[in-house]
Structure 1
Amino acid sequence: MSTLHFKEKTNSTPEQFVAALTDFGPGRSKLFGNSADKFLEVHNRGPGQADVTEGSHGIWERLHYDWSDPNRVVMTTTDSNVWGGHSGHTYTFTPRPDGTTEVDVVVVREGKNLTGRALEVVVGTVGKRTLENAFRKTVKAVESRGNDGG
């Protein structure tokens, strides 16, 4: 199992970040590069939760999103072609006195088959930098979206 932990400071509020994470409409891939619009399917959505399949480059996962806590979004993998076990993402938002927000994300990747186990090793080693760069791009995109009023 690979567990990655990233932190970034942003000018976005927790509310803006939660709104971006839970916007399953067109253009999601502009915020989250590993969520291609053509693979996005919302199965169910209710107050503070959603059941969504998303992915890209031949890798997909079905996630249960829980944003019932305004400072935390937990995305639990419920099905995937490569991920299983304890896979998922947890975003925690800590407002700072200077008006910024610290975004803390933990990504867990546990392969459920040979391909998944190979990807788990890649993610935990050389892929860490790629995922960290993707996270930084997401933070910047959410900031831009907030500045545009979107």
Structure 2
Amino acid sequence: MTTIHLHQTTTATPEQFIAGLTDFGPGRKELFGNSADNYLEVHNRGPHDADVTEGSSGIWERLHYDWSDPHHVVLTTTDSNLWGGASSHTYTLTPQPSGKTDVDVVVVRDGKNLKGKVLAGVLGVVGSRVLGKQFKKSVEAIEARNHGASGPDAQGTGG
């Protein structure tokens, strides 16, 4: 099992970030590069939770999204071709006095088969760098969607 911690500071409010995180419409890949439209299937969506299958490049997972707490969003893996057990994504959104929001993410990857265990091991070595770059792009895309652009002072510290 691999645990990866990521951090960014964004100009988006927690509400704006959650709106981007839970936008399961076409073009989701523009916000989240590992969520291709041809994998995306919304099984159920309520006011504060959703059951969604997403993925890309041969890797998919079905996730239960829970955003009932506007500062703590939990995505729990319920099925996947690679991930099982304790696999999840947990977003903690902390508003700052400056108007910015700190976004901390904990990604847990628990391989359920040989391919998943090998990939989890690889992520243990390069995950912060690789997933950190993708996370930074996602934060910037959410900022651009809400503010028209992201400036240099909107950059976080990466993962």
TM tier relative to shorter chain: over 0.9
Q: What's 2:3 paired with?
A: 3
Letter in 1 for 2:29: S
Distance (whole Å) between structure 1 residues aligned to residue 92 and residue 145 of structure 2: 19
Q: What's 1:18 paired with?
A: 18
Q: What's 1:80 paired with?
A: 80
Distance (whole Å) between structure 1 residues aligned to residue 37 and residue 123 of structure 2: 23
SS across alignment from 1:12: coil
- Give matches, 1:50-65, under 5 Å: 50-65=50-65
Q: What's 2:152 paired with?
A: none
Distance (whole Å) between structure 1 residues aligned to residue 3 and residue 85 of structure 2: 12
Q: After the TM superposition, which segments of 4 or more aligned residues of structure 1 sit over 3 Å from their partners?
A: none
% identical equivalent positions: 67
TM-score of the superposed pair, with normalisation by structure 1: 0.97
Letter in 2 for 1:52: V
Distance (whole Å) between structure 2 residues aligned to residue 127 and residue 18 of structure 1: 23
SS across alignment from 2:69: coil
Gaps of 5+ in 2: 149-159
Do residues 35 (structure 1) and 24 (structure 2) align? no
Shift of 1:71: 1.0
Distance (whole Å) between structure 2 residues aligned to residue 84 and residue 13 of structure 1: 31
Q: CA RMSD in A?
A: 0.7
Gaps of 5+ in 1: none
2:11 touches 2:143 (CA, 8 Å); kept in 1? Answer: yes
Distance (whole Å) between structure 2 residues aligned to residue 12 and residue 74 of structure 1: 19
Do residues 117 (structure 1) and 112 (structure 2) align? no
SS across alignment from 2:146: helix
Q: Which has the higher contact order (CA 8 A, sep 6+)?
A: 2
2:5 touches 2:128 (CA, 8 Å); kept in 1? Answer: no
Q: What's 1:91 paired with?
A: 91
SS across alignment from 2:30: helix
Shift of 1:73: 1.0
- Deviation track 1:53-84 (CA, whole Å, cap 9, x = no partner) reads 00000000000000000112100000000000
Q: How many residue pairs were aligned?
A: 148
Q: What's 1:133 paired with?
A: 133
